[in-house]
Amino acid sequence: MNILLPTSIVGSLPKPVWLAPPEKLWSPWKLEGDQLTEGKQDALRIALQEQLLAGVDIICDGEQTRQHFVTTFIEHLSGVDFENRKIVKIRNRYDASVPVVVDELARRKAVFVNDAKFLRQQTTKPIKWALPGPMTMVDTLYDDHYKSREKLAWEFAKVLNEEARELQAAGIDIIQFDEPAFNVFFDEVNDWGMAALERAIEGLHCKTAVHVCYGYGIKANNDWKKTLGSEWRQYEEIFPKIQKSDIDIVSLECHNSNVPLNLIELVRGKKVMVGAIDVASNRIETPEEVANTLRKTLEFVNVENLYPSTNCGMAPLSRNIARAKLSALSKGAEIIRNGFAI
Ligand SMILES: [Zn+2]
């Protein structure tokens, strides 16, 4: 990136109401067949336009073509039964109806590659594409075949790598792996989770990112955060391992969180996507608030490595609020950028 403080969102934006009812997760599609395909493409065009209008520098697809950031990917694999779902507890926090692994996993066709090609045709700006990370996938389904979280993560890493290589060939500049599960299962991260993620990025020459957060702004996550005390030190357990990895960018939650900012020092040398927008609140940040959050992190990350962003995806927010927050993000980054202008 040749621009200082390039802004981007973590991944998702709310969908238009004619595509899927807003403000909820796993919202069902309102269209089907060819109309759904066309509707998704139109939603992608809108997501792009809204980011451009807000002045966002690195474009995402807003996850307009997926029902959920994890299960949509899993549903495209063979070896998975997504009709006879089971209820599991996600990250020890909330129940969800998820697909079941019933046989050996394989990716027989691309999942998001056509969507990525479509978005690539619409803009010359850098594009970041989010994929679920192997450990978070393991935690978002029921395994009736491998009976080992580590083995299953390894299989996911292999298929994610196939998808990532094709996304890279489609012209994606940054591939981001979402690993909220990294903030919960520390021992497993250090034991096999990070190794599985490294397997997923094997052979890639585009930039790679890992996003580790405290979740969407839904009640189960907000209730969980209340139990974490006045200092959230989860990053301390996993950042040393990430620092040693080949991942280029670390995306973290920052604004309105109880994360001690000096923990960012643990990934010194990496590029850091600093969450300067709270996705768990409908209150719109002022540009000055965004700038203040970014300024505070400059003690722990070199300015050329600072990538202003959101704390997490904005799928559960209303569209008006998401738009206003996007705009605040770019205006806040602009304040800091101007301070560094020669
Ligand atoms: Zn997140």
Domain of residue 298, CATH code: 3.20.20.210
In the block, which residue shows the tokens 């700038």? 291
CA dist., res. 85 & res. 80, Å (int): 10
Task: Name the residue range of residue 188's domain.
Answer: 33-66+168-339
Q: Which residues of the chain have pLDDT under 50?
A: none
What is the predicted pLDDT for the residue at 62? 97
What's the CA-to-centroid distance between 63 and ligand 1, angstroms?
A: 13
Nearest Cα neighbor of 198 from 272, 103, 120, 133 is 133
Alpha-carbon torsion angle 160, 166, 172, 173, nearest 10: 70
What is the predicted pLDDT for the residue at 238? 97
What's the CA-to-centroid distance between 251 and ligand 1, angstroms?
A: 9
Tokens of 148: 């080992």
Enumerate residues 6+ apart whose C-beta is below 8 A from 36.
29
Residue 161 lies in a domain: no
User: pLDDT tens for residues 59-114?
Assistant: 999 999 999 889 899 989 999 998 999 998 888 788 888 889 999 999 999 999 99
What's the CA-to-centroid distance between 213 and ligand 1, angstroms?
A: 5
What's the CA-to-centroid distance between 221 and ligand 1, angstroms?
A: 11
CA dist., res. 61 & res. 313, Å (int): 12
What is the predicted pLDDT for the residue at 342? 58
Burial class (CB in 10 A: 0-12, 13-18, 19+), 29: middle
What's the CA-to-centroid distance between 12 and ligand 1, angstroms?
A: 9
Bridge partners (DSSP) listed for residue 95: 89
What's the CA-to-centroid distance between 181 and ligand 1, angstroms?
A: 10
CA dist., res. 116 & res. 45, Å (int): 12
Residue 129 lies in a domain: no
Within 91-236, strands assigned E span 94-106, 128-132, 142-143, 174-178, 207-212
What is the predicted pLDDT for the residue at 136? 95
Q: What is the mean pLDDT of the chain?
A: 95
Enumerate residues 6+ apart whose C-beta is below 8 A from 2.
none
Bridge partners (DSSP) listed for residue 130: 176
What is the predicted pLDDT for the residue at 130? 98
What is the predicted pLDDT for the residue at 137? 95
Nearest Cα neighbor of 203 from 231, 174, 165 is 165
Residue 125 lies in a domain: no
Bridge partners (DSSP) listed for residue 228: none
Residue 247 lies in a domain: yes
What is the predicted pLDDT for the residue at 295? 97
Residue 289 lies in a domain: yes
If one counts the domains in the chain, the total is 1
Residue 116 lies in a domain: no
User: pLDDT tens for residues 257-280?
Assistant: 999 999 999 999 999 999 999 999
What's the CA-to-centroid distance between 259 and ligand 1, angstroms?
A: 14
pTM metric for this prediction: 0.96
Nearest Cα neighbor of 314 from 301, 305, 325, 304 is 325
Residue 53 lies in a domain: yes
What's the CA-to-centroid distance between 306 and ligand 1, angstroms?
A: 18
Residue 27 lies in a domain: no
Contact 137, 150 (CB under 8 A): no
What is the predicted pLDDT for the residue at 216? 83
